[in-house]
Structure 1
């Protein structure tokens, strides 16, 4: 047991103090994002909107995320990651305080579009900041560490949010969300001011950078990630319905099964990434392996009606997530050295926004029209297409490397 604990602690060694501060800022910000899990309840119970109206509000939310990721990437290249992150934190906090006072359908659609666009503008900037604050050999673990902070924040946020709603009401969520965002910004000013921060990434950026949208290999990689995101988001939209309607699980058991995902990530992701970094498997190879695991988790559901397979499926899907996401982030950061990092990481963030915009709704439509088993077959086929695209990218990378060596 002591050796396991020591290995877990050692997986955090070597990370710069700036990465630790960035993780704390992320934890404060994400733990404060309590409105998001309760948004549909707030809109139906507190604002009395129909489910159709809530659907359109959530669509505007997703579109805001997509636009914000693009804007954040552009601004990171133009004014720098520090100003983008700080501005996003402060303005997001202010926006949370304001949006609670809107009540009409269109005003809420527009206000939440603006809110999430401002909030998600920080996403590509965070990636660029990580690149600056991390030594090249520590980037994947640094990215994993930030993911750990995000997961801890998302785990704590809903629990705190439920208590706040019960004691203060929904308006308390907006006030606390807003204040925590502003606090995260103040922490950043004190700990990561440009004059204090050390630029640890000394990798050379190529002159005459390639525009991100002209990098064909990168675009195919992102298309594969959209497909991966499309499949993976089913675990947090259509899968809970499957648990309830087909396997007749209670809300409590469904909650525990979803929490199992976060627990596995908290306990095993950092040591797993530390181990995989020492192997000969490439970053892209790990993304492919993660995609394969996630696809297998859906195939398992077709094999047996035994409810125990749900736990096995969640464990395999989570393992796929733990392998694919950190190495996908690291590959994107590495590829961004060919051009402007903000634009590259903006497109990377947009790929997951697109998966959220289309994945949830399409999954619901598939289930409604074709049933669960046929939907899982479709998810397996989409996984196969995504894996094929990543293998194509891997082949093109080898050709690119050969051409560079030849020149």
Structure 2
């Protein structure tokens, strides 16, 4: 029985190209080394002694830079190719992390966070486009899930290691770890993966070219982008307001917060691929799965209102993890499948920009609500946004179904 279950689990990982596995490996190395971001709000508040409002504005700069970087990354991926964009982004942002630790003024950090995120987040749409080049169409969702598993396994290790680094050498050690991991992972990528030229739109048959519409006229996709933004915005409370909530309401240490975040990463690592494989075999519609992800995302925040027991944080993390597993892999896949050939970079740029905008709004909105009305009001606001997103997804599902009839 156990052997059959193990065999079924392993079968979910078969059929990927060598390049996909290498991309997964370097993603894991990079993500495990990304220790600054989970503790960024705590670093700004507790180590540099900024106010809630200042922390919110620095996070706005973080997200604004991320938006511009995502747009540039998608545009350049269609123009010069995803490979060059990935190499430039990772190498340069790695060097920037070394410098970031020496900037401690409010204005300086606003400029620095904006700049580093412009460069760092050029990587994301380029990486998504690389998956369309290196993965087979029939296993593209699983390839996206495999890379997400690497992200989450790295995420399971990163915060826990980050907490230990803070206790051992202080916050400055996190910046060195981030920079080294970026440079190491992209060096491995350059050594092990050759650039693959993707066909231009002009190379496709004339009938296919006529079908290509501007992304700006794709109404269902824009509604879907709004839902992706809403889900990401409330999910990012995990990195902005929740670490502060752990400390201020329950008195948790950095290591305890890191372990809670690690639970999320470990659950995704062991459960997401089997869930994705099962839902794909059952041919469940992507938008239906994303809808249930939005529902779980909302319920996770309503659960936090029962704040008399510290164990509710574990319940919340478990619900948030299921929301993530239902939402993000299939959102990635839906966005990529919606793009006409040769326009993947533009579609994925807009998709990743929703996450960047979510960073901007999530931090600022969350911090402002907490400073004026407290944590419980913030959880109610986030839960309502999640339910509204789920309602819009039902509309998108109907519109897409109408297109296919």
Q: What is the TM-score when the length of structure 1 is the normalising length?
A: 0.87
2:42–2:244 Cα contact (<8 Å) kept? no
Structure 1 residue aligned with 2:344, among 320, 341, 345?
341
1:286–1:327 Cα contact (<8 Å) kept? yes
Q: Which string of whole-angstrom CA distances, capped at 9 and with x for unpartnered residues, describes residues 248-295 of structure 1? A: 463365544333212211111111111111113111111111112222
For 2:337 and 2:84, the matched residues in 1 are separated by 23
Deviation at 1:110, TM superposition (A): 1.7
Aligned to 1:405: none
Deviation at 1:364, TM superposition (A): 3.2
For 1:330 and 1:236, the matched residues in 2 are separated by 24
Aligned to 2:23: 22
Deviation at 1:297, TM superposition (A): 2.8
In structure 2, relative to structure 1, the CA distance for the partners of 1:12 and 1:78 (3 Å cut) is same
In structure 2, relative to structure 1, the CA distance for the partners of 1:304 and 1:280 (3 Å cut) is farther
Deviation at 1:72, TM superposition (A): 0.7
Aligned to 1:277: 280
The equivalences for 1:67-78 within 5 A come to 67-78=68-79
For 2:256 and 2:178, the matched residues in 1 are separated by 28
In structure 2, relative to structure 1, the CA distance for the partners of 1:40 and 1:301 (3 Å cut) is closer
**Aligned with 1:193: secondary structure?**
coil
1:188 aligns with 2:196: no
1:220 aligns with 2:223: yes
In structure 2, relative to structure 1, the CA distance for the partners of 1:115 and 1:380 (3 Å cut) is closer
Aligned to 2:61: 60
The equivalences for 1:99-138 within 5 A come to 99-138=100-139
Which shows bigger deviation, 136-145 or 249-258? 249-258
Deviation at 1:39, TM superposition (A): 3.6
The equivalences for 1:202-221 within 5 A come to 206-208=208-210, 209-221=212-224
In structure 2, relative to structure 1, the CA distance for the partners of 1:377 and 1:185 (3 Å cut) is closer
The equivalences for 1:6-405 within 5 A come to 6-40=7-41, 42-43=43-44, 52-165=53-166, 170-194=171-195, 206-208=208-210, 209-240=212-243, 248=250, 250-251=252-253, 254-301=257-304, 308-337=311-340, 340-402=343-405
Deviation at 1:41, TM superposition (A): 5.2
2:62–2:359 Cα contact (<8 Å) kept? no
For 1:245 and 1:44, the matched residues in 2 are separated by 12
Q: CA RMSD in A?
A: 2.9
Which shows bigger deviation, 392-401 or 151-160? 151-160
For 2:256 and 2:160, the matched residues in 1 are separated by 16
For 2:287 and 2:80, the matched residues in 1 are separated by 31
In structure 2, relative to structure 1, the CA distance for the partners of 1:356 and 1:45 (3 Å cut) is closer
Q: Which string of whole-angstrom CA distances, capped at 9 and with x for unpartnered residues, describes residues 347-382 of structure 1? A: 100111111211233123334444455444433322
Q: What is the TM-score when the length of structure 2 is the normalising length?
A: 0.87
Deviation at 1:401, TM superposition (A): 1.6
1:226–1:354 Cα contact (<8 Å) kept? yes
**Aligned with 2:281: secondary structure?**
coil
In structure 2, relative to structure 1, the CA distance for the partners of 1:243 and 1:52 (3 Å cut) is closer
Deviation at 1:226, TM superposition (A): 1.1
Q: Which string of whole-angstrom CA distances, capped at 9 and with x for unpartnered residues, describes residues 163-207 of structure 1? A: 545555555443443232222222111121126x899xxxx7941
For 1:80 and 1:326, the matched residues in 2 are separated by 24
In structure 2, relative to structure 1, the CA distance for the partners of 1:140 and 1:45 (3 Å cut) is same
In structure 2, relative to structure 1, the CA distance for the partners of 1:386 and 1:146 (3 Å cut) is same
1:211–1:340 Cα contact (<8 Å) kept? no
Q: Which string of whole-angstrom CA distances, capped at 9 and with x for unpartnered residues, describes residues 116-143 of structure 1? A: 1101001000000011111111111111
Which shows bigger deviation, 2-11 or 22-31? 2-11
In structure 2, relative to structure 1, the CA distance for the partners of 1:367 and 1:34 (3 Å cut) is closer
1:294–1:317 Cα contact (<8 Å) kept? yes
Deviation at 1:30, TM superposition (A): 1.7
**Aligned with 1:219: secondary structure?**
helix
Deviation at 1:48, TM superposition (A): 6.1
Unmatched runs of 5 consecutive residues or more in structure 2: none
2:166–2:173 Cα contact (<8 Å) kept? yes
